[in-house]
């Protein structure tokens, strides 16, 4: 019975990761195929459909960091504290390498690396490195650290630096989204450490409830409480409109856009309101979906089994197909090599892009393609004895 519960809890975590992975693929498809350089949360120019397309992708990062935190706790049960610290350090460095040298190239196709960004994989790697030291602390202390950061880090929103000093660079990584142009180079920091490390630590704390001695009914009760508390907290603090997000909501020209303003939240850095509205449904999904195992869920489950592989492969193929489409339309495919000048008004990409219904059709085609690629890759992994496929 115990092994069955562990299997079900692992299934729902993988299922959730697969679902949000399809959301991330949708967002990447939008980036490369919708009208170029469109801000989907700019209420003066967006549509409800476009806003929703961006909003659902918000669930990817919180789910990823939380689920990785759970898995890191469970993996650590097989090691001594010292052994696991070195393992986390090694994995963190590998993720940073993948971010800087592989993922950055897949986003830009620029062999000169004129755009270097710290995105989700790199920040995940830094979080691993931090956890290498923090995992020596007791779980209860980690919970206090996590919740304190989530609840209080918006007090730092007014601390905004502008220079390029080492101290400023450290601050940008900690809590300030920043674009740093240097000659023909641009450095981008999107994901900031404080809120995302806190989500990882929260997942690490919850890992105990997925361990071999944890009862499912107890785990479900805690997840339900956490889910509804997160959602209630979001609606309360967002309604008050004083704290929890640096972007206050405002009354718009109609009720629909007032609602959009209410849900127009800050992801960089992830605000308390943002984490409340995303983590709430994540908790509730984990609580209620453990029994969902059928042919429909198995489709999404596949996307959660090899997340790093499909994240990198999907980024490459989406970008490559966008380059091919550009060429078929009579525009130089080299225009899809993303450089700092790609966002200028005289860029060939300025007139490029497709309507959202077409983008969704392309996304569905990609989802089917990636599902087939994943099944082939999973077959190779099962049959291969090479460690890299395990």
The structure tokens listed for 29 are 């498809």
Sheet holding 115-118, edge to edge: 115-118, 185-189, 178-182
Alpha-carbon distance 240 to 235, whole Å?
Answer: 9
Surface-to-core class of residue 290, CB atoms within 10 Å of its CB (0-12 exposed, 13-18 middle, 19+ buried): buried
- Which residues form the domain of 20? 2-389
Q: Residues for the chain: how many in total? A: 390
How large is the average pLDDT for residues 129-158?
98
Alpha-carbon distance 308 to 297, whole Å?
Answer: 20
pLDDT tens readout for residues 321-359: 999 999 999 999 999 999 999 988 788 898 899 999 999
At residue 2 the predicted structure's pLDDT band, cuts being 50, 70 and 90, is: very low
Q: Where are the alpha helices (H) located in 77-165, listed in sequence order?
A: 81-97, 104-108, 120-134, 139-152
Q: How many domains does the chain have?
A: 1
pLDDT tens readout for residues 259-307: 999 999 999 999 999 999 999 999 999 999 998 888 889 999 999 999 9
User: What's the half-sphere exposure (Cβ side, CA atoms, 13 Å) at 164?
Assistant: 8
pLDDT higher than threshold 50 for residue 1: no
pLDDT at position 3 is 47
CB within 8 A of 124, min separation 6: which ones?
A: 64, 65, 68, 95, 196, 200
pLDDT higher than threshold 60 for residue 59: yes
| 123 within 8 A of 192, measured Cβ to Cβ | yes
Strands 185-189 and 115-118 come out as parallel
Looking at the DSSP bridge assignments, the partners of residue 115 are 186
CB within 8 A of 112, min separation 6: which ones?
A: none
pLDDT at position 60 is 99
């Amino acid at each position: 019975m115990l092994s069955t519960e562990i299997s079900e809890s692992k299934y729902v975590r993988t299922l959730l990761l697969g679902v949000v992975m399809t959301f991330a693929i949708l967002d990447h498809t939008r980036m490369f195929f919708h009208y170029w350089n469109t801000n989907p949360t700019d209420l003066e120019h967006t549509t409800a459909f476009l806003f929703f397309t961006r909003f659902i992708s918000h669930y990817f990062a919180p789910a990823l960091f939380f689920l990785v935190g759970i898995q890191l706790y469970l993996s650590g049960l097989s090691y001594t504290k010292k052994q696991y610290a070195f393992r986390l350090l090694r994995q963190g460095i590998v993720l940073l390498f993948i971010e800087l040298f592989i993922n950055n190239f897949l986003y830009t196709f620029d062999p000169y690396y004129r755009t270097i960004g710290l995105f989700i994989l790199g920040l995940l790697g830094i979080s691993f490195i931090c956890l290498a030291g923090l995992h020596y602390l007791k779980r209860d202390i980690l919970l206090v650290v996590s919740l304190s950061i989530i609840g209080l880090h918006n007090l730092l929103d007014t601390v905004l630096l502008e220079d390029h000093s080492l101290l400023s660079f450290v601050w940008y990584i900690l809590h300030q989204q920043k674009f740093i142009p240097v000659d023909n180079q641009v450095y981008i920091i999107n994901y900031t450490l404080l809120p995302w490390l806190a989500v990882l630590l929260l997942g690490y704390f919850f890992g105990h409830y997925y361990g071999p001695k944890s009862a499912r009914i107890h785990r479900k009760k805690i997840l339900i409480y956490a889910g509804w508390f997160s959602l209630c907290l979001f609606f309360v603090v967002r309604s008050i409109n004083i704290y929890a997000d640096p972007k206050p909501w405002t009354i718009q020209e109609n009720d629909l856009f007032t609602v959009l303003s209410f849900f127009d939240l800050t992801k960089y850095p992830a605000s308390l309101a943002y984490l409340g509205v995303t983590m709430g449904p994540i908790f509730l999904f984990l609580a209620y979906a453990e029994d969902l195992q059928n042919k429909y869920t198995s489709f999404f489950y596949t996307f959660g089994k090899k997340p790093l592989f499909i994240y990198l492969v999907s980024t490459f193929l989406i970008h490559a197909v966008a380059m091919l489409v550009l060429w078929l339309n009579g525009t130089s495919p080299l225009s899809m090599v993303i450089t700092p000048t790609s966002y200028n008004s005289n860029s060939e990409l300025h007139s490029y892009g497709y309507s959202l219904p077409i983008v969704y059709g392309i996304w569905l085609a990609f989802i089917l393609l990636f599902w087939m690629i994943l099944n082939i890759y999973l077959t190779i992994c099962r049959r291969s004895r090479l460690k890299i496929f395990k």
